[in-house]
Structure 1
Amino acid sequence: MASDEPEVTTVTSKGQITIPSSLREQFGLEQGTKLMVVPTDYGLVLKKVDLPSVEEFQQRVKERADTVDVSPEDVSRLVHEARGDNE
């Protein structure tokens, strides 16, 4: 259960913030964890993005293979773009 106590952090010159260790532990945030930043009328909300496992992703691709005309190269490119990888 989330604590109601607010935590304060500072934005660096590069736009980075440090999430306090107690919150990183509470929400399972490790190095490399992807977070979505959602603007709302009340401010910004951070949402942990849980990416599917390789096996789950492969199953999703198989399920859609007959209905979508996408090459393996397209899939690879789209995955890299979504992950923010520099190919």
Structure 2
Amino acid sequence: MASDQPEVTTVTSKGQITIPSKLRDQFGLEQGTKLMVVPTEYGLVLKKVDLPSIEEFQRRVENRADASDMSLDEVTRLVHEARSSDE
């Protein structure tokens, strides 16, 4: 899936970069996509972070309900608040 041709981009004064459209399309990067920046001995690596949907997160919480004293409604409210603050 990786391209053999390197792409060049420039870091702005705010530390931002533009990922070339060819690579955005290839890797499914849309506005709001979260990327993890990982330092390695070879340089920086960008890794797409796939967050679970709210429904999937709720299922995961329900599976661990015995380990927490928070209700599902409280967890749902916190998830919605966290997602709203990221935008």
The TM tier, using the shorter chain, reads: 0.7 to 0.9
Q: Which runs of 5+ in 1 are unaligned?
A: none
CA distance in 1, matches of 2:8, 2:70: 45
Matched, 1:63 2:68: no
Unaligned 5+ segments in structure 2 are none
Cα deviation, 1:18-72, whole Å, max 9, x if unaligned, reads: 0000000000000000000001111000000001011101101111111134462
CA-atom RMSD, angstroms? 2.1
Structure with the largest fraction of helix: 2
The structure with higher relative contact order (CA 8 Å, sep 6+) is: 2
| Deviation of 1:84 (Å) | 8.4
Q: CA deviation at 1:85?
A: 1.9
